[in-house]
Structure 1
Amino acid sequence: MTEDTQQRIIGVIPAAGQGSRFQQQTPKQYLQIHGASVLEHSINALRSHPNVAAVVIAVQAPEHLLQQFPQLQQPDIHCVSGGSTRAASVLAGVEAALRLDATHVLVHDAARPCLPQAALQRLLNEGLAAKDGAILALPVADTIKRGNSQKQITASVARENLWRAQTPQLFGASTLAQALRKVGTDNPLITDEASAIEACGGSPLLVLGSEQNIKLTYPEDLALVSWYLTHQQEGQQQ
């Protein structure tokens, strides 16, 4: 992909959450792995692409973050105050990106540090031309069961045309900001950015993601994240 001077792509990373499912005092995005925090690895995955002009991080306390990680004080990294929900943090980040003249935003999870550059390139190649934006996703391969409150199976769900959403998710910056304002940042049905676009009548494109693009959710995920980061770093050195 050649750089288009009319397109200015800025990454947005909501990082104000506490990660309750991770069951540790330290929020998972601040855990140290391979010489850097999970958050820094996620930031660098976006910054490594030449078409990403800057990255905005939405956190609870921007000043504290910069004191804790002085290496984030780079001219292309910007910190803003996040909100009480993911959507509120994303909106704060997108609004900051708009002030930085973004035409498009790449919203990426703070806890997805292993994003392969090939998957990001696919998203940009296909998503920039998509009217309603695009997301990385993987087709569901497992058998899916629906259960009740007693954890009993009530039905098997056909997996045809089912996908697991990943990030980054790519949208026009002003389009995403308008969608989030319209549906409300405290709306429990808005679990990712694509769902906000969908609620406003859009149909984002599904772009093939990567199994390496794992989200750090549970403590047992750490070993796999470490393995993928090692594999990627060794590949860069070759």
Structure 2
Amino acid sequence: MTHDFKYMLNIDTDSANLANKELQIHTLIVAAGKGSRFGADKPKQYVKLNDRTLLEHSVARLATSRYIDNCLIVIASDDHYCRELSFDMDVRFAIGGSERWQSVQAGVQRLIDDGGCSQDLVVIHDAARPAVPVKDIEAVIEAAKQEKFGAILATPVADTLKAQSESKTNESRYIAHTVNRNGLWQAQTPQVFRLGALQKVLAHVAQNHLEITDEASAFEALSMAIRLVNGSRQNLKLTYAEDLPMLQAIISLQ
């Protein structure tokens, strides 16, 4: 089935040819989530750092790349705040879904409707990652230009990992075993993919009711190789309230 699906995608398998073909680079920021784990009274993309929201910071960071000059922001249907913000490059909007992958799918369809081609690249970034270094943005784009399907930023897992044993109560948790961290990576964004291939794999996710946590997972489900590009540990994602002072410090230092 995987072989047949790759054939359906009709992707050029010559990496050198892919690198030399003229293509557009589209940017998509996912900002439709509610950020429930953060625990604020507003979606976390609208939390402020140094008088600018996380979303504004994230767009500004992408705007520093020589490859990027406009951005599609995917927002929730009831979001009336985003359009009032000030961004460092031209932005337009699409309405997302209840799941992250549905929001990405809506953004991809908008890019295609606006004239995007199969071989184009789409740079997908989290609104809650405002500190990604520009050198990492450009490194993952340059890597994706050489690949059939795409590339993502990630960092090798450095901490010791423990698996939790099964428990009859949530009050106490115990270690089952230590997980071998060799070869394990922690995914970041941006994640950069061929636009047509991403459209197809997300359709596969929808048709087969798959659960995925990032776009690379959709490609993994079909054994389609996505390249890992070593990113900076400064590319912190705001997930919990205690992440906020660390992000403030990183942005101030940068």
Q: Which amino acid aligns with 2:27?
A: G
SS of residue matched to 1:22:
coil
| Cα separation, 2, equivalents of 1:187 and 1:85 | 12
- Residue 189 of structure 2 corresponds to 167
- 1:235 matched residue in structure 2: none
TM-aligned CA deviation for residue 61 of structure 1: 3.5
1:99 and 2:113 are equivalent in the alignment: yes
Deviation digits for residues 39-73 of structure 1 (CA, Å, limit 9, x no counterpart): 1111111122121242111101477134432x249
| DSSP-derived class of the 1:17 partner | coil
1:110 is the counterpart of 2:127: yes
* Bigger Rg over Cα: 2
User: Where in structure 2 are there 5+ consecutive unaligned residues?
Assistant: 1-18, 168-172
Q: Check if 1:45 corresponds to 2:61.
A: yes
Equivalent positions of 1:55-134 (< 5 A) are 55-61=71-77, 64-69=80-85, 71-72=86-87, 76-102=90-116, 103-134=120-151
Task: Give the alignment's Cα RMSD to 1 decimal.
Answer: 2.1
Q: d(CA) in 1 for partners of 2:75 and 2:177?
A: 40
Aligned residue runs from structure 1 range 185-204, under 5 A: 187=209, 189-204=211-226
Matched, 1:143 2:160: yes
Measure the CA separation in 1 of the matches of 2:212 and 2:128.
Answer: 19
Whole-angstrom CA distance in 1 between matches of 2:166 and 2:240: 22
Decide whether aligned partners of structure 1 residues 152 and 107 sit closer, same or farther in structure 2, where only a CA change above 3 A counts. same
Q: Give the conservation status (yes or no) of the 8 Å contact 2:59–2:88.
A: no
TM-score by length of 1: 0.89
Partner of 2:246: 224
**SS at 1:20 equivalent:** coil
2:44 equivalent to 1:28:
yes
SS at 1:184 equivalent: helix
Question: How far, CA to CA, are the matches of 1:221 and 1:193 in structure 2?
Answer: 24
Counting matched residue pairs gives: 228
For residue 186 of structure 1, report the CA deviation from its aligned partner.
9.1
> 2:114 is aligned with what amino acid?
L
Identity %: 38
Cα deviations across residues 150-200 of structure 1 (Å, max 9, x unaligned)? 321111111110000000000001110111011118946210000011112
Q: Any idea what SS the aligned residue of 1:155 has?
A: strand
Residue 18 of structure 1 corresponds to: 34
Kept in 2, the 8 Å contact 1:9–1:106? The answer is yes
Corresponding residue for residue 24 of structure 2: 8
Deviation at 1:98, TM superposition (A): 2.1
Q: CA separation in 2, counterparts of 1:29 and 1:193?
A: 19
Stretches of structure 1 that go unaligned for 5 or more consecutive residues are 233-238
| Contact 2:153-2:187 within 8 A present in 1 as well | yes
Alpha carbons of structure 1 residues 169 and 67: separation in structure 2 relative to 1, 3 Å: closer
Whether 1:206 and 2:220 are equivalent positions in the alignment is: no
Check the 8 A contact 1:87/1:186 in 2, yes or no: no
Q: Helix, strand or coil: the match of 1:223? A: helix
Paired residues of 1:137 and 1:163 also in contact (CA < 8 A): yes
